[in-house]
Structure 1
Amino acid sequence: MNKILEFCKKNMKTMKTIITILISSLLLTSCVTIKPGEVGLKQKLGKLSDQVYPQGPVFFNPFTSKIVRTSIQTRNLELSLNLPSKEGLSITSQISILYRLEKTDVVKIVNDLGLNYEGIIANVFRSASADICAQYFAKDMHSGKRSEIEADILKRMSSNLQNKGIIIESVLMKSIQLPVGLSQSIESKLRAEQDAMRMEFVLQQEKFEAERKIIEAKGTRDSQKILSEGLTNEIIKLRSIDAFNELSKSPNTKIIVTDGKTPFLINQE
């Protein structure tokens, strides 16, 4: 007994160090930090508690419990699918699904769906997109109706997932790859429509130019008519007198032939 006590006294410092390390390890393994945008759920002996832990440290018994962490931020699920069209064609599309978990329903989501809920979302999208896209022609997915298709798929998915605590914020069809023949025919049609619009613009401009020339000609005709109606014999005589007066002021030698009404100037230079 004395030997044991003596041994303990000699190795007290070492034992304190070992005990400190054990306590520190126990504390570290019994604390989890919940990051911003996450929530934590305590699982004790395989059963989830109803309490949802926000960001910050959470302490638990590592021998009987653990903390399950999951994100409640908006997340992006990328999919590449072949979508059916109304005429039976297969359209390849890149899809982005923006979704988040309702904070108050996280316990229900983990209990019902587990942590692999993205697989559930993908399956719901496949079903909803097949039903909706089959109501539209392939060209509609490549035109202004794409936003309408996205809204219909979003509505169908929300009705299936909202009661499960998953909020679908947006469905984005980022790229549409049509069959080669259909894509070429759509491009040809668009090119023909653009050419028709360009020709219509040119014809409209020509029409405006023709109308402008007609108006200009009418104006010239009307002004000449007004001038001709205003040139009476008396005005012509007054203009002739004014012309004689101006010629008389000139120092240059000139020969003027006139009948007394209108002058005709011969310049000797």
Structure 2
Amino acid sequence: MNKQTNQSLTAIIGGIIAALLLLVGFNSYVVINPGEAGVLSILGKAQEDALLEGIHYKIPFISKVDVYDVTVQKFEVPAQSATKDLQDLKASFAINFRLDPVQVVDIRRKQGTLSNVVSKVIAPQTQESFKVAAARKTAEEAITKRDELKEDFDIALNNRLDKYGILVLDTSVIDLNFTKEFAQAVEDKQIAEQRAQRAVYIAREAEQEAQADINRAKGKAEAQRLLAETLRAQGGSLVLQKEAIEAWRQGGSQMPNVLILGGENKSSIPFLFNLGDLADIDEERPSPEEASPLDEPSPFETEEDESSSLDLPPSYGNLQE
């Protein structure tokens, strides 16, 4: 009986020892996965060297390992500041960052958990960095030079978070908001600029039209001067005669039968005379017999005899007919 009791007790003790060995074995090492970093603490005191990915030995039961995620984290931070011209500016930033694996021990000592890092370090430093960047730009420049505003913000934020072991990979400006008064002022300014540009365009167009009229007037005056010089030169009268004939033709009238140069000045414009009109006048004039009932000789007969005795050119045949 005693023998069986001893064997049972021995088995129990053996089981307990095996369990303790397994427990000690599992608490004697820690596995750090990729993208993680660990901080070993012995009796509450953090050790100097960070535990990077792999298997690491630790003293069981009296040591503890805090594991930190060192992959890229994203955090959205609202910020508010005043611009160089004292306009209120609100912004929202998306910050991509990660913890420096080498400095996780210092982070553990000073900040504690990752949530503390975000709330106690990243958020306030983002606010301060935005104030620095916004103070260098006016409200208008914050809109037109947004890339420069972001660059100034990135530089200020990196300098502030680097000493905390926080690596800023990228930042994005999600939104920029101004006061309603400023937004209305910007809109009014844009409208005024557009109207001013329109007025300048109209003024330039009127100036160009005036210059075109001046050029046309100069060209016309020059043409008239050249024409006058041509007419004053030898042969100018022939030019006038040709122009008169062309004008007559273009007017759609029938060409006259006779071309008579009027006046002693041969340079004057030719006088066009239609002999057909003279024939009509001659037919309407009463004969000498009808005009003198007393059968006295008419003085027109003498004129007719004298005209018949003249040697007329062939082109005056229409008068005798």
Q: Return the TM-score normalized by structure 1.
A: 0.60
| SS of residue matched to 1:82 | strand
In structure 1, how many angstroms separate the alpha carbons of the residues matched to 2:140 and 2:240?
A: 78
Letter in 1 for 2:196: A
Offset from partner CA, 1:207-254 (integer Å, 9 cap, x none): 12221221222122212322331233425437868999xxxxxxxx95
Offset from partner CA, 1:121-169 (integer Å, 9 cap, x none): 11111223345545665x3465335444434333332222223333335
In structure 2, how many angstroms separate the alpha carbons of the residues matched to 1:42 and 1:171?
A: 27
* Structure label with greater radius of gyration: 2
**Which residue is 1:215 aligned to?**
215
**Which residue is 2:3 aligned to?**
none
Comparing both chains, which one has the higher relative contact order based on Cα–Cα distances under 8 Å and sequence gaps of 6 or more?
Answer: 1
**Which residue is 2:37 aligned to?**
41
| SS of residue matched to 2:221 | helix
Structure that is richer in strand per residue:
1
| SS of residue matched to 2:144 | coil
* 1:99 Cα deviation from its structure 2 partner: 3.7
Q: Is the deviation greater in 178-187 or in 105-114?
A: 105-114
Contact 1:98–1:170 at 8 Å: present in 2 too?
Answer: yes
**Which residue is 2:118 aligned to?**
118
* Residue 158 (structure 2) pairs with residue 158 (structure 1): yes
Contact 1:82–1:90 at 8 Å: present in 2 too?
Answer: yes
**Which residue is 1:81 aligned to?**
79
In structure 1, how many angstroms separate the alpha carbons of the residues matched to 2:96 and 2:273?
A: 94
| SS of residue matched to 1:255 | coil
* Residue 235 (structure 2) pairs with residue 237 (structure 1): no
Contact 1:256–1:263 at 8 Å: present in 2 too?
Answer: no
Unmatched 5+ stretches in structure 2:
1-21, 246-253, 277-321
**Which residue is 2:90 aligned to?**
92
Contact 2:93–2:171 at 8 Å: present in 1 too?
Answer: yes
- 1:22-41 equivalent positions in 2, closer than 5 A: 34=34, 38=35, 40-41=36-37
**Which residue is 1:180 aligned to?**
180
Letter in 2 for 1:211: Q
The root-mean-square deviation of aligned C-alpha atoms, in Å, is: 4.3
Evaluate the alpha carbon distance shift between residue 207 and residue 67 of structure 1 in structure 2; reply closer, same or farther with a 3 A threshold: same
The share of aligned pairs that are identical, in percent, is 19
In structure 1, how many angstroms separate the alpha carbons of the residues matched to 2:272 and 2:167?
A: 99
In structure 2, how many angstroms separate the alpha carbons of the residues matched to 1:31 and 1:190?
A: 62
Evaluate the alpha carbon distance shift between residue 82 and residue 50 of structure 1 in structure 2; reply closer, same or farther with a 3 A threshold: closer
Q: Return the TM-score normalized by structure 2.
A: 0.52
Unmatched 5+ stretches in structure 1:
1-21, 245-252
**Which residue is 1:190 aligned to?**
190
Aligned residues: 223
In structure 1, how many angstroms separate the alpha carbons of the residues matched to 2:244 and 2:88?
A: 91
